[in-house]
Every structure is written in structure tokens, then in C-alpha cells.
């Protein structure tokens, strides 16, 4: 039985559907990712699964518990790291973790053992008595993840876990998450709009405008394109799009970066493009299949775009 089951989930805000009939499941021990732009429905869905938000219809089960009818059982079996830092800056690392233990009514001896253990895992044992406001962004994120694991949850939810961090710190956080998963062995459910983060997942659900438009392993998604993507910027993209269709029998998509065309053997196609296209070509870029190409191919735009649902939390 999957550790997370979602069937035909709907959530509306003032008559507008933020989540539209979403269905998926997550296997125990899996790292599962929601990939999509801000406003796509990622945070709304994860908030429902963490019982922070009610839903209108459908089924949402976590660890076999119903998110609507058994919220307390769901909460006791999960850990959650929010987008925003929620640590108390005026407390020490130890005090932040101790307070979390109080919330879960942990035995005092067990709490002390787990705090020492988790501080060692996240590499913060020597900073246990330091005030959190002195910590870097990466250290705060590591401490938050540690806090989410104190009560030994079966599922750890990470909502945009490296949002706002610089690329180097983001990389360090993910190295830490990899090591932590090997140590703890629990299920990880994450949301992200960073392609590199999505690559670490066992499976990815691409979500856009409230609905899942693809779900597979990262390599399967990339192989689904069956070719190279050529990005072309011309003096008249609409005219070039028509020429590409008429002369090559290919469908070009209009994106922020110009036209994108999916072809077999991109290196051999580019000379033909220059030879037969009458519209002036300003630039050409060839890319092997990537998750970003998959997203553009499915939606016609780059993932940084904000959809109509951006007014919601996401």
C-alpha cells in the first residue's frame, strides 16, 4: 500500500480551482517531487496532505490516515519544513528542538537522546547553545529539517526547502538531505521549481495550473521528448514558425526565449535550418533533453512564469 494516496483532489478559492482533480501515490522510502512554477498548486496540495488546509472533494491519505477525518493521526506521523523559516531566532538551537519535543509530548529522556542524535546528524552539535539568529541561512534550514525529524515521522514534507538560498548553500543543503535520507530512511515529499532539485527525486509529478500534466522518473520524462530541443530567435518568430511547419513538417512552440523545436539529431538539423529559412535567424541554441525542456514542451512556457493561480499560496 502506498504511504501517500491522493485521488481526484479538488480545492477551490472563491470559486477558482487551485487544485483540479489531482491523483497520485507515493511509495514508502521514495523521494517524490512536485515540480512546477509558483501558483501551480504545489503548496496548496502539500498543505492539504499536512492537514493545514481543508479540501473540497477527493481522497487524501497519508500513512493510511484520512487527512480530513483523522488529522491528528496524520500530523503525528509526518514532519514538515515550511518555505519560510519558522525557528525562534531568540532561542538556541537546542531550545528550538526542545520546544518541538514538548509539542509532541516526548518523554524527557527520549527527547534529550534524540536532540543530541539529530544535532550530530545535521552537524550542529558544536552550535547547540548558540542563538539561532546568528546562524546562516543554510544552518537554519538544516536545523529546521532536524526539527522535522525529531519525532521520527514516516514522511518528511519539504515545501521549497532551499527557497531564497544562494546556489552554493542550496547544493550543501541537498548534500545534507541525501546523507540524512540514507541515515533515517524515511519517505521524502518535496515541492520545488528548481530543475536541479527535481533531478534528485525518484519520481516527479509536473504540476501546472492546478493539475498534474506528467508523472514519471526524471530520466523517463527526458526520454519522452525523443530528440533535441533547438531554441531559435528570429526577426519574425511567427513567420519563422510557419516556415518551419511548411518546410520541415515540424511544430515550433513560441516561448519567452523565441521558438523551440523538437528534432532528431539537432546538430544535423541546424545547417538545414539556416539554409532553408528565409526569416533572419538572430540566434540558435541546441540543448539535449532536460526537465526544463520537458516542462516547456508540455506547457509552452518556462517554469519561472507565474500562472493565474499565483494569487494563492501555490
Domain count, the chain: 2
Rounded to two decimals, the pTM is 0.76
Of 221, 249, 267, which residue constitutes the final position of a domain?
Answer: 221
Looking at the fold, whether 69 and 91 belong to one and the same domain comes out as: yes
Give dist(CA 83, CA 298) in Å, integer.
Answer: 26
CATH number of the domain that residue 242 is part of: 3.30.70.260
Structural domain span for residue 235? 226-288
Residue 313 has pLDDT above 50, yes or no: no
For 92-132, how does the pLDDT look when each residue is reduced to its tens digit (9 = 90+)?
999 999 999 998 889 999 999 999 988 987 889 999 999 99
Is residue 310 domain-resident?
no
Is residue 294 domain-resident?
no
For 6-21, how does the pLDDT look when each residue is reduced to its tens digit (9 = 90+)?
999 999 988 889 999 9
Residue 286 has pLDDT above 50, yes or no: yes
Give dist(CA 239, CA 140) in Å, integer.
Answer: 51
Looking at the fold, whether 27 and 94 belong to one and the same domain comes out as: yes
Is residue 239 domain-resident?
yes
For 191-211, how does the pLDDT look when each residue is reduced to its tens digit (9 = 90+)?
988 887 888 899 999 999 999
Looking at the fold, whether 205 and 253 belong to one and the same domain comes out as: no
Looking at the fold, whether 184 and 119 belong to one and the same domain comes out as: yes
Is residue 304 domain-resident?
no
Q: Give the pLDDT confidence score for residue 293 in this predicted structure.
A: 82
Cβ atoms of 41 and 22 within 8 Å: the answer is yes
Looking at the fold, whether 200 and 183 belong to one and the same domain comes out as: yes
C-alpha cell at 213: 500534466
Higher pLDDT, 188 or 296: 188
If pLDDT is split at 50, 70 and 90, which confidence band does 306 have? very low
Q: Give the pLDDT confidence score for residue 307 in this predicted structure.
A: 38
Residue 312 has pLDDT above 50, yes or no: no
Average pLDDT over residues 164-176: 74
Looking at the fold, whether 133 and 253 belong to one and the same domain comes out as: no
Q: Name which of 229, 194, 242, 216 is nearest 300 in CA terms.
A: 229
Of 172, 188, 221, which residue constitutes the final position of a domain?
Answer: 221
**Beta strands in 82-194, from DSSP E residues, in sequence order:** 155-159, 187-192
Burial of residue 274 (number of CB atoms within 10 Å: 0-12, 13-18, 19+): exposed
For 13-69, how does the pLDDT look when each residue is reduced to its tens digit (9 = 90+)?
888 899 999 999 999 999 999 998 888 899 899 999 999 999 999 999 999 999 999
For 247-269, how does the pLDDT look when each residue is reduced to its tens digit (9 = 90+)?
999 999 888 778 999 898 889 99
Looking at the fold, whether 13 and 36 belong to one and the same domain comes out as: yes
Average pLDDT over residues 145-174: 82
Is residue 141 domain-resident?
yes
Is residue 153 domain-resident?
yes
Q: Give the pLDDT confidence score for residue 310 in this predicted structure.
A: 34
Is residue 48 domain-resident?
yes
Looking at the fold, whether 120 and 215 belong to one and the same domain comes out as: yes
Is residue 216 domain-resident?
yes
Residue given cell 514558425 in the structure block: 241
For 226-251, how does the pLDDT look when each residue is reduced to its tens digit (9 = 90+)?
788 899 999 999 999 999 999 999 99
Higher pLDDT, 83 or 60: 60
Looking at the fold, whether 210 and 91 belong to one and the same domain comes out as: yes
Q: Give the pLDDT confidence score for residue 199 in this predicted structure.
A: 86
Q: Name which of 147, 159, 173, 153 is nearest 93 in CA terms.
A: 147
Q: Give the pLDDT confidence score for residue 226 in this predicted structure.
A: 78
Average pLDDT of the chain is 88
CATH number of the domain that residue 195 is part of: 3.40.50.300
Cβ atoms of 163 and 154 within 8 Å: the answer is no
Looking at the fold, whether 100 and 46 belong to one and the same domain comes out as: yes
Would you say how long the chain is, in residues?
314
H/E stretch holding 47 reads helix 42-49
Q: Name which of 240, 215, 202, 234 is nearest 294 in CA terms.
A: 215
Looking at the fold, whether 12 and 144 belong to one and the same domain comes out as: yes
Cβ atoms of 230 and 273 within 8 Å: the answer is yes
Higher pLDDT, 182 or 82: 82
Looking at the fold, whether 131 and 43 belong to one and the same domain comes out as: yes
Amino acid at each position: 500500500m502506498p504511504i501517500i494516496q491522493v485521488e481526484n483532489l479538488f480545492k477551490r478559492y472563491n470559486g477558482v480551482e487551485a487544485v483540479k482533480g489531482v491523483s497520485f501515490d507515493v511509495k514508502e522510502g521514495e523521494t517524490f517531487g512536485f515540480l512546477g512554477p509558483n501558483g501551480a498548486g504545489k503548496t496548496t496540495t502539500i498543505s492539504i496532505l499536512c492537514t493545514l488546509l481543508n479540501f473540497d472533494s477527493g481522497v487524501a491519505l497519508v500513512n493510511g490516515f484520512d487527512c480530513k477525518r483523522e488529522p491528528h493521526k496524520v500530523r503525528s506521523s509526518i514532519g514538515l519544513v515550511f518555505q519560510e523559516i519558522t525557528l525562534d531566532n531568540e532561542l538556541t538551537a537546542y531550545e528550538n528542538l526542545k520546544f518541538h519535543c514538548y509539542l509532541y509530548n516526548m518523554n524527557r529522556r527520549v527527547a534529550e537522546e534524540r536532540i543530541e542524535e539529530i544535532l550530530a546528524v545535521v552537524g550542529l552539535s558544536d552550535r547547540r547553545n548558540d542563538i539561532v539568529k546568528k546562524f546562516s541561512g543554510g544552518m537554519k534550514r538544516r536545523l529546521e529539517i532536524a526539527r522535522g525529524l525529531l519525532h521520527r515521522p514516516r514522511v518528511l514534507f519539504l515545501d521549497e526547502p532551499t527557497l531564497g538560498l544562494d546556489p552554493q548553500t542550496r547544493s550543501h543543503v541537498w548534500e545534507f538531505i541525501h546523507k540524512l535520507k540514507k541515515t533515517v530512511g524515511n519517505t521524502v515529499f518535496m515541492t520545488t521549481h528548481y530543475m536541479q532539485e527535481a533531478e534528485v527525486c525518484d519520481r516527479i509529478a509536473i504540476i501546472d495550473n492546478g493539475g498534474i500534466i506528467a508523472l514519471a522518473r526524471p530520466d523517463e520524462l527526458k526520454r519522452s521528448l525523443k530528440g533535441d530541443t533547438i531554441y531559435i530567435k528570429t526577426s519574425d518568430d511567427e513567420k519563422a514558425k510557419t516556415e518551419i511547419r511548411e518546410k520541415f513538417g515540424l511544430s515550433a512552440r513560441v516561448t519567452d526565449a523565441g521558438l523551440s523545436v523538437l528534432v532528431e539529431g539537432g546538430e544535423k538539423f541546424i545547417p538545414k535550418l539556416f539554409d532553408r529559412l528565409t526569416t533572419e535567424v538572430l540566434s540558435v541554441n541546441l540543448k539535449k533533453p532536460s526537465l526544463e525542456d520537458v516542462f516547456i514542451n508540455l506547457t509552452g512556457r518556462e517554469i519561472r512564469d507565474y500562472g493565474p493561480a499565483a494569487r494563492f499560496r501555490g
